[in-house]
Amino acid sequence: MNVELFIPCFVDQLYPQTAFNMVKVLERVGCTVHYNPAQTCCGQPAFNAGYWNEARDVAAKFLNDTKGADYVVAPSASCTGFVRNYYSKLFDNSSRHNAVKDLAARSYEFTEFLTEVMHVDKVGAVLEGKATYHDSCAALRECRIKEGPRRLLAGVKGLELVEMQDVETCCGFGGTFAVKFEPISIAMAEQKIGHAVATGAQYIISTDLSCLMHLDGAIRHKGVDLKTMHIADVLASGWEWNA
């Protein structure tokens, strides 16, 4: 199984270890992993800010960079959801229409790829403690991901998974929303953290580091004893990797 990695901008710049852990897990389940170092952004930030022409240029490069790959896998439902659901708007009535449809069919969020394509529920991970899972808006609403990450976490030895109240409610990040509506964004993050703490969890886990980055800021500000973890980092815990 040949997999082309797409590493989102913020993962590349702020959380590169998560990208390495994704490679670690994918290789463990039998994938041959490729990475194009010329790749850049999927175009979502420009698109959301209203710069559709600029977003289209970036997206066109993304199409070229991922051409020919069996699957394109990313540790981000946000980026995957954007490629699947909004590239068709950028390239509507264009010569790239069919290429966009093809790419959408080959693009997967990391946990979705493990459960739906590789049909994997356990990778041999070990992490002692109690955790709660946060459904990111992009995973839940744009990629329809719900049970897959929970099945994977249930297969982690030593990890107890507990559900928090209002688990499907937004964390408040929303990209530029957090900048434009800062007080609301902060209040939403604090509410989410409160629900997570009420479960007694030591970890809050998600598919999206954008959410976790936002929540981690609220955790640090409030001085709460809670650790954020991307699910790739969880699944890569407790076993050795020979790169």
Predicted confidence band at 242 (pLDDT cuts at 50, 70, 90)?
Answer: low
Mean pLDDT confidence for 106-127: 97
Using DSSP bridges, classify how beta strands 2-5 and 32-35 pair: parallel, antiparallel or unpaired. parallel
Predicted confidence band at 243 (pLDDT cuts at 50, 70, 90)?
Answer: low
Task: Please give the CATH architecture assigned to the domain spanning 2-117.
Answer: 3-Layer(aba) Sandwich (3.40)
pLDDT in tens, 188-214: 999 999 999 999 999 999 999 999 999
Q: What percent helix, strand, coil does the chain show, rounded to 5? A: 50, 15, 35
Q: What is the pLDDT of residue 1?
A: 82
Tokens 């998560």 appear where? 18
Name residue 3's amino acid.
V
Q: What is the pLDDT of residue 101?
A: 94
The answer to whether the CB of 151 falls within 8 A of the CB of 115 is: yes
User: Strand, coil or helix: what is 76?
Assistant: coil
Q: What is the pLDDT of residue 10?
A: 87
For residue 240, pLDDT beyond 80: no
Q: What is the pLDDT of residue 112?
A: 97
Return the bridge partners of 204, or none.
132, 228
Largest CA distance in the chain: 53
The answer to whether the CB of 214 falls within 8 A of the CB of 132 is: no
The answer to whether the CB of 174 falls within 8 A of the CB of 214 is: no
Same fold, 2-117 and 126-235: yes
The residues, ordered by sequence, that sit 6+ positions from 169 with a Cβ below 8 Å of its Cβ are: 188, 191, 192
Within 10 angstroms of residue 160's Cβ, the number of other Cβ atoms is 16
If you classify domain 126-235 with CATH, what class do you get?
alpha beta
Mean pLDDT confidence for 162-185: 88
Phi and psi at 30, nearest 5°, equal 105, 15
The answer to whether the CB of 139 falls within 8 A of the CB of 212 is: no
How far is residue 80 CA from its own chain's centroid? 8
What is the residue extent of each domain of the chain?
2-117, 126-235
Least confident of 107-121, 191-205, 229-243: 229-243
pTM of the model: 0.93
Distance CA 46, CA 211 (A): 19
